[in-house]
Structure 1
Amino acid sequence: MTDGSVHERYMRKALELSKQALPGCRPNPPVGCVFVKDGEIVSEGFSQPPGNHHAEAGAIARYKGSYDGLVAYVTLEPCSFQGRTPSCAKALVKVRPAKVYVAILDPDTRNSGAGIKILQDAGIDVEVGLCGEDVSNFLKPYLIKN
């Protein structure tokens, strides 16, 4: 298995998780997140009903190990703003994963690249576009376009 296909496998798992978020997460988008360490999935999360954990916050809450060397796979750019819940991008900065793979950017103008910037400004390596077409096809009906 190539390195790329390993990363795709983890992002596809995050996509599966995002589907589990429906319909309870609405009106928020159904997002999935997977944490991987040493080649093993160590935590998962998906969007919960409004006011509860987003995918990244759920994965953080479930994980009790060291974040050193941890890699995160998220279907949608982590939110950069405080709404009913804290910013997921800032929550990821606190735990400092080694790398964050993001399938697609959030078209919501409150975010739209700002979540990526928060991560990168904190020195976290971010790669956008892994499985982007498949994730976009699934998420498109649920995303805010403003």
Structure 2
Amino acid sequence: MDRVAHRRRATPRYIGQLFVERTGLIDGIVPRQIADSMRIMFGLNLTYTTSYRALKFAQVFVRGTPEDGYANLPSYLRRLKQANPGTITHLLCDEEDRFKYCFVALAASTAGFQYLKRVIVVDGTHLTGK
């Protein structure tokens, strides 16, 4: 059995992990729902702060950190180009390897540009004949 399970008080990290493992839900969840679920499933009475921290840990457990997401971005763009031949992607980082911007143009979108109707619009509100 997990050594944390023997503690008198459960940590927010453990509660978040337990919540995700038991329910599999994280999107649209508010701290009060975590507190209610833990009370019903395990008889734990959680404060709002503990529930909020557990929710934040659960989100990191499911989605990872923002740093992980940025680290995975090049491989995601590579897979996107493999799955959609003709797709254009460009990832730019600054000198310190920090994210600057990402450009994605799916092949279907770029192919559709040739069928757009060209329209010239002149906004004449600032033009006066005086």
- TM-score between the two structures when normalised by the length of structure 2: 0.24
- TM-score between the two structures when normalised by the length of structure 1: 0.22
Say which one has the larger Rg: 2
More helix by share: 2
More strand by share: 1
